[in-house]
Amino acid sequence: MSPVAHIPSHRKPRRAASPSTRALRAGVTGGILSLAVAGTTVQASASEQTAAESTLEMPTVSAALATTTAQSADATLEAATGYEIQAQQDQAADHARAEAKKAKEKAEAKAKAKREAARKEAQRKAEERAAQARSSRSTDRTPLGDSTPSTGSGSGTSTQAPSTSSSGNVATLLNFLRAQVGKAYVPGATGPSSYDCSGLTQTAFRQINISLPRISQQQSTVGTQVSLNNLQPGDLLYWGSPGSAYHVAVYVGGGNFIGAQNSSTGVVERPLSYDPPTGAVRVL
């Protein structure tokens, strides 16, 4: 037995806790523990959410960067393709223009050659007709040496009278020409109310069944070239050079000619000195 067992304790004896007190204590203790656990859980959840958000943001940024890079590459490729297509189109256009120019030059050269061939053919036929006309009339002509010469009045040009056999044709020709004096000059006209120079001469010689080419260049090469000092009425005068004449008229004797001069004068009779011709051909 302890020596102090008989000494009474100075502390008050404990009273047993009532059931309600024990329940209250248990509830408080449980609440505190729950709050602690809940705080820990919330903190852990917040940490996990932050980590998750960080983890999710990185792929999102990486995906956006990859998309931008891909779009830039596509744009660059599209631009390069556009430049290449434009270059090909420009090259094709240049080639087409060059081919068109070559074709045009070839067509123009062909047309020019065709016109020249037609002109030569027309000239050849005109010369053949003139030769045939001279041949058919040669038996009715008196040699020039037997003609009676006469002197043109005031022109300084000596002339020879036509033979008796052709005087009828000459008279018909001159009468027709004098009947046209005063009519209008119209380019391309062949009568009866207006003429150009070669239209008048062509129509006049048609009255005596002589067919002349239509234009002055060709008319200047038909018949026989004669000197201006040896003209006869009915000779065809021309201005320019044979084959390149730009004007024609008819010598009517007396040092005069009749021709469709221009739009200002129309068909007139003038002395040779008014506009001296450069040559003459004889078709009668």
pLDDT tens digits in sequence order for the chain, 284 residues long: 455 555 555 555 555 555 555 654 655 555 555 555 455 554 555 555 554 554 445 555 567 777 777 788 888 888 888 888 998 999 899 999 999 998 999 888 888 888 888 877 776 776 666 555 555 544 444 333 233 333 333 334 434 444 444 678 999 999 999 999 999 999 999 999 999 999 999 999 999 999 999 999 999 999 999 999 999 999 999 999 999 999 999 999 999 999 999 999 999 999 999 999 999 999 98
pLDDT for the residue numbered 186: 96
At 94, list the tokens: 């240049």
Comparing C-alpha atoms, which of 164, 189, 167, 173 is closest to residue 266? 189
Q: What are phi and psi of 120, to 5 degrees?
A: -65, -40
**Residue 252 · residue 233 · CB < 8 Å:** yes
At 100, list the tokens: 């068109």
CB atoms within 10 A of CB 270: 15
Contacts of 276 (CB under 8 A, 6+ apart): 228
pLDDT for the residue numbered 74: 82
What does R_g of the chain's alpha carbons equal in angstroms? 62
Q: What is the pTM of this model?
A: 0.45
| All structural domains of the chain with their residue ranges | 25-115, 152-282
Whose tokens are 């729950």? That residue is 34
Which architecture characterizes domain 152-282 according to CATH?
Alpha-Beta Complex (3.90)
At residue 192's C-alpha, the angle toward residues 186 and 194, to 5°, is 15
Count of residues making up the chain: 284
pLDDT for the residue numbered 148: 33
